[in-house]
Amino acid sequence: MRHHPLLIIAAAVTLGGCASSTITPDYSSTDPNVQVGGEPPEDTGPTIEDVGTFCMEVTQKWHEDGKTPDGQKLWSRDTYRKVVPCK
């Protein structure tokens, strides 16, 4: 089965155009749960928060969660909560 050469060229140009588009990452996020690059932030806790009729023990831990297209580490924060008696 022969394909028309113009059809093959058109497909190659279309696919090539998509492959060459690069999305520039925006590293200016103000999200407190994500950090781009650098050393891992410090883990915190446990801290006790009084939430009314009970208290919460809160611990925050950071972990590497991949890399940016240019190789910078992505850090994301996990927050762990546990109900505890108030003192």
How many Å apart are CA 73 and CA 65, to the nearest integer?
A: 7
Over the chain (87 residues), what is each successive 10-residue block's mean pLDDT?
Answer: 58 53 66 88 93 94 90 93 92
What pLDDT score does 54 carry? 92
What pLDDT score does 19 carry? 52
How many Å apart are CA 81 and CA 87, to the nearest integer?
A: 17
Q: Where are the domains of the chain?
A: 27-84
What pLDDT score does 64 carry? 93
What pLDDT score does 79 carry? 95
What pLDDT score does 42 carry? 94
What pLDDT score does 30 carry? 80
What pLDDT score does 61 carry? 96
Order across the sheet with 55-67: list the strands: 34-36, 73-84, 55-67, 44-50
